[in-house]
Chains A and B, each alone.
Chain A
Amino acid sequence: MRDKREIKPVNSFNQKIDYILAAPALLWLTIFFLVPYFIVLIYGFLTPDIFDIKFEFSLDAYRLIVDGTYFRPFYVSFRMALLTTVLCILLGYPVAYFIARAKEKLRNTLLVFIIIPFWTNLIIRIFSWRIFLSYNGVLNDFLISLGLISQPLEIMRTDWAVILVMVYVYLPYMILPLYSVLEKLDFTLLHAAMDLGANEVKAFFKITLPLSMGGIFAGVLLVFIPALGAYLIPQLVGDQRSLYVGQVITYKIKNIPRNWPMASALSFTLLILVAVCLLAGYYLYQNRQKTKRFG
């Protein structure tokens, strides 16, 4: 096998050219991605105004974060993100496994079936769930016509609706990375384990699952983090008495009277929470790799 690292790419005789090429995008991300977070940090320590913001120092917003006034939305979002992630693993794993072990010609077709809903506009999908789940909706009509229920079920605007739609939206994000790991997995190892007397369940937990951990981590990253910041799903199908942190932030920015310092403080806290989750995940993953190597 040719080693790619040995051969120097042709356009890199000069590192200066590399920096010049990379500069525009990196500069762009610095101005429009990094700098804005500094503004979020600063705005959290200013004074709210009905329509705008006053440039006067104030600790009020962070005081409300620290004393737990806004604990509830974080809890609601965190709990739902966690539940969504677990359900996505439980549903996504068998699906990814099924596709990875299907006949090679069939795999691409099956993947397309997973990708089509994933590539369909998010709002449209949420909207159709509203038609399906609403009080006079398709599901209730169907269940009543079957005689299974006599009264329509109230599913819309409950946590059940949010779970259902969250899993629906984020499931492909779990299936695709899992599939790409499972597809490359050497199933002869499984064969070896079973030849040596492991039963199927044991072989799965000792071989397949540990070897697909990378895919699970990637999937968790792609599901849990966006789910933590969810706004649209709880807004369109959720119970409006228990607000998610994404909704609270949006209201503080959009609705009058505005409270941008509060929105900033909440956003920054969410950012820290995401960073902590990422670092924890990374640490766990690294640790696992190490124990695997020496254990």
Chain B
Amino acid sequence: MKLPRLSSFFKGMNLTVFTFVMIFLYIPILILIIFSFNDARIITSWKGFTFKYYAQLWENAAIKEAFWNTMLIAILSTVISTLLGLITALGLENKRLKGRRGFMGLLYAPLVIPDILMGVSLALLFNFLRVNTGMVTVLIAHITFCVSYAVIVIQSRLEDFDYSLIEAAMDLGAKPRTTFFKVKLPLIMPGVIAAALLSFTLSIDDFIITFFTSGRGFDTLPIYVEGTIRRGTITTINSLSTLMIGFTLFLVVFTKRIRKSLISFF
């Protein structure tokens, strides 16, 4: 079917805005990558090509520690929130479950409240309970903001689920347990993986909630970077940033699933 063609004015405007936005979105990223190879202490002017800041990065113990902290928190919070998300999504699958609307409200609420409020409220909770802030409190906070996303991503996969496949399996004599592990779980697995990837990226990206729930001596990479920018010793940040952008690129370009889940999420 032939769709109406937009007139050249409309089309031209859309293309212009699109091009402008693309340039706008990529300027900062390109600058970081280029300047990470710049052989100058002051980052503004080009002084020649170097790998030296990558070498410095490798030797920096504080960055290494922050990196491992970030990974530890990300992996643990991903595993826990994805498992929680999976069983919760399965539990709330039946739309006629009593109280489902209220439960969904509780799950959606963290998504529509500014991050800073979650950070503040958790900080005060830990103060009220007289808990020392550190790795455990950061982990609790990360699970708290990841779990809602995990449930919702897995739920959207369950919405498209074809229940006749379950009926077919049961008709053919499979027991409920076999049906679940051999038919249902494999079919919703892409949703589970998408939820895990989303949780992982949310966790490694978070600054503000970690800022409020980590004590002194437990830095994740975003916390370390912010501190470094504030203190003004920023030579290694370019190279660190470039590596982190590379990691993002890898995730987005090479994992179709995260892309699809992200698009279907909206």
Contact = CB atoms under 8 A, between A and B. Distances in A.
Contacts of B22: 113
Given A253-B120, A267-B120, A141 B98 contact: no
A73 interface: no
28 contacts: A9-B94, A10-B166, A12-B93, A18-B97, A21-B90, A22-B87, A24-B84, A25-B88, A25-B147, A29-B107, A29-B144, A40-B117, A94-B13, A101-B14, A117-B26, A117-B28, A119-B201, A121-B205, A122-B207, A124-B244, A127-B229, A132-B27, A132-B28, A141-B45, A188-B1, A204-B10, A246-B114, A250-B211
A249 B84 contact: no
B167 A108 contact: no
A260 interface: yes
Contact of B29 (A2, A128, A179, A218): A128
B93 A171 contact: no
A120 interface: yes
A232 to B, nearest CB: 6
Interface of B: 1, 3-4, 6-7, 10, 13-15, 17-18, 20-22, 24-29, 31-32, 35, 42-45, 84-85, 87-88, 90-95, 97-98, 103, 106-107, 109-110, 112-118, 120-125, 127-128, 140-141, 143-144, 147-148, 151, 159, 161-164, 166-167, 170, 176, 179-180, 184, 201, 204-205, 207-208, 211-212, 221-222, 225-226, 229, 234, 237, 241, 244-245, 248-249, 251-253, 259, 262-264, 266
Contacts of B166: 9-10
Contacts of A270: 114, 117
Interface-central residue, A94, A120, A168, by most chain B CB under 10 Å? A120
Interface string A115-147: 111011111110111111010111001000000
Contacts, number: 289
A234 B201 CA distance: 24
Given A25-B84, A94-B13, A168-B24, A271 B125 contact: no
Main secondary structure of the interface of B (DSSP, over half): helix
B28 A125 contact: yes
Contact of B113 (A114, A116, A271): A271
Contacts of A218: 266
A290 to B, nearest CB: 20
Interface stretch (A56-64, A154-162, A221-229): A221-229
A176 interface: yes
B214 to A, nearest CB: 12
Interface in A219-251: 221-222, 225-226, 228-232, 236, 246, 249-250
Given A9-B163, A26-B103, A250-B116, 9 more contacts: A5-B95, A10-B176, A25-B84, A33-B106, A33-B121, A95-B18, A122-B207, A123-B207, A176-B263
